Amino acid sequence: MPQNTRRSKLGQNFLVNLQACEAIAAASGDLSQRAVVEIGPGRGAITEILAARAQQLIAIELDTLLAAQLRQRFAAQTHVKIMEADVLDVDFGELQTDKAKLEVIGNLPYYITSDILLHLFRYSAVIHRAVIMVQREVAERVLATPGTSEYGVLSATAQMFAQVEKLMTLPPDAFSPPPEVHSTVIRLTMAPRFEELKVDAEGFFAFLRAGFAQKRKMLAKNLRIAGLEAQTIATAFEKGCVSSTARAEELTLEQSAALYREIKGQNSIALIR
């Protein structure tokens, strides 16, 4: 495959703004006692800084050539391990070598941002924080609050697993080659809310996906389409104090959870297709 095609396919827009590299590494705090996982180290701009600060660094790179170059460059630093792999295939549980949770950092390949986020949430029990660069529009969706048009399944999912913060936005010229979009660094501090809101992850996410399935439709309508009985929905909305005309994006996570618990209490969740 020609180099340019491979680059755009793998989301290879390398960060060339040194200040931004420093800021990303600094956003994870003191790393001297931490194991850090870098996703997509590329040409090593952030890797270099992390190698100087972390107790242990595991950098996961899919591109064979880049991985080989990094391996050579960091050969003398035994606390740095370059893994040639697809990050989505990596079991983060196996990367944790002591009790301390992992710090994750990365200027992500944008073509699989949502998949990487879901992968990180799957391993939220072994991750402390993730400082990641994503496309600005994705950051806006992750950070969106209920009642705004950006609020959707991604916002609800991210906010069920983590406290999310926006750190900085960079223009295309901070990268080489420049992407067509602006980029935003966000910090996710893992703090799952399932116990607090008394919901199970699998059922609650199926409920959220059904509720957001057609964003222009009212939540009740979407739940009907998903297979719930009208009476079940009406009772749950009444008990959960949710307006029958509400749309899914208007509900806080607390309200969605209350509604879900009501529906589950009526043994109707299994009806969701």
Ligand X SMILES: C[S@@+](CC[C@H](N)C(=O)[O-])C[C@H]1O[C@@H](n2cnc3c(N)ncnc32)[C@H](O)[C@@H]1O
Distance CA 38, CA 16 (A): 17
240 binds ligand X (CB under 6 A): no
Q: Does 86 bind ligand X (CB under 6 A)?
A: yes
Numbers of helices and strands, H then E, in the chain? 12, 9
Q: Does 67 bind ligand X (CB under 6 A)?
A: no
Contact range with ligand X by CB under 6 A, out of 82-90, 160-168, 226-234, 260-268:
82-90
Kindly state the smallest distance separating residue 233's Cβ from ligand X, in Å: 40
C-beta atoms surrounding 16 within 10 Å = 15
Binding residue per annotation — 40? yes
Interaction with ligand X in 1-60: which residues (CB under 6 A)?
10-15, 40-43, 45-46, 60
Tokens found for residue 80: 């740095």
Cβ-based neighbour number of residue 151 at 10 Å: 24
Q: Taking the alpha carbons of 17, 20, 21, 22 in that order, is the dihedral positive or negative?
A: positive
Q: According to CB under 6 A, which one of 28, 56, 107, 135 is a site residue for ligand X? A: 107
Q: Among residues 181 and 206, whose Cβ is nearest to ligand X?
A: 181
User: What is the closest distance, in whole angstroms, from the C-beta atom of residue 205 to ligand X in the complex?
Assistant: 23
**Residue 273 and residue 270: Cα distance in Å, rounded?**
8
Q: Which of 109, 146, 211, 240 binds ligand X (CB under 6 A)?
A: 109
Q: Which letter does DSSP use for residue 252 in this model? A: -
In residues, how long is the chain?
A: 273
* Position among 37, 62, 154, 223 found at the interface with ligand X (CB under 6 A): 62
Which positions from 87 to 106 touch ligand X by CB under 6 A, shown as an x/- string? xx------------------
Q: How far apart are CA 272 and CA 206, in angstroms?
A: 8
Which helix (H) or strand (E) segment holds residue 184: the answer is strand 183-190
Please check if 15 is assigned to a binding site. Answer: yes
| Maximum alpha-carbon separation in the chain | 67
- Do the Cβ atoms of 241 and 268 come closer than 8 Å? no
Residue 200 annotated as part of some ligand binding site: no
Continuous segment of H or E residues that includes residue 17:
none
**Count of residues binding ligand X (CB under 6 A)?**
23
244, 178 Cβ separation under 8 angstroms: no
How far is residue 163's CA from residue 151's CA, in Å, rounded to a whole number?
15
CB of 183 to ligand X, least distance (A): 9
Closest distance of CB 40 from ligand X, Å = 2
Q: How far is the CB of 175 from ligand X (least distance, A)?
A: 7
Tokens in use for 225? 């389409």
Nearer to ligand X among residue 109 and residue 211 (C-beta): 109
Is 14 or 205 the residue whose CB approaches ligand X more closely? 14
Residues in the annotated binding site: 13, 15, 40, 61, 86, 107
- Summarize as ranges the residues that interact with ligand X (CB under 6 A): 10-15, 40-43, 45-46, 60-63, 66, 86-88, 107, 109, 112
Residues in the annotated binding site for S-adenosyl-L-methionine: 13, 15, 40, 61, 86, 107
